[in-house]
Amino acid sequence: MKPVSTRLYALLGILAFATYVWAILYFLPTPVPKEPTYEQGPHLASREIPTNEFDELITEIKNDIGLPNIKVVVRVGPYFQERNLIAAIILVYQPTYYIVLDEKFLKELSPEEKNATIAHEMGHILFGSGSNFDRRERATTEMLADIFAARYVDQKHVSSLLDKAYSGYMIRKQRLEILAQGQ
């Protein structure tokens, strides 16, 4: 059996080491948070839009869909089109809905087309966005959101928005036809 003093020194050594580790961790400067990446969430890798031009429209739509108390934040993000995403998305991080717009794309839009974009994304609150694995279901929700948007903005602006957003996109033509029928 070891003498008591050896065990005491061992214990003191462990304590000293623990204190040392604690002190290092305590006094280390807090790491500066890195800019969030797109992969961590497009709503993080974006900034709040410096305008209230959509507030009225969003309030109107929230009331119309019977969800007056939800929080909808519009943000402008990096270039989604470069990531094969389309011009705008809506993300739900309860209790907040984030509409994230592609900054570059937004510059190409008229005020009416911007409103059509917001209304379309708000339509997704009502109709969902469909399953990632079911193309037809996704297409259906897109068409419903288009028709929904046309309740708030003249259909021609929704069509021209689609023209700009979905050039080359396979269901674009179908969406435009359905939109025209919905009128």
Question: Which positions lie near Zn ion, rule CB under 5 A?
Answer: 142, 145
Q: With the C-alpha atoms ordered 73, 76, 77, 80, is the resulting torsion angle positive or negative?
A: positive
Closer residue to Zn ion (CB): 113 or 142? 142
Closer to Zn ion at the Cβ: 72 or 145?
A: 145
Q: Which is nearer to Zn ion, 2 or 85 (CB)?
A: 85
Tell how far CA 131 is from the center of its chain.
17
Q: How far is C-alpha 19 from the chain's CA centre?
A: 44
The rounded distance, in Å, linking the Cα atoms of 58 and 39 is 27
Which CB, 62 or 124, lies closer to Zn ion? 124
Smallest separation, CB 145 to Zn ion (Å): 5
Whole-number minimum distance, CB 56 to Zn ion, in Å? 21
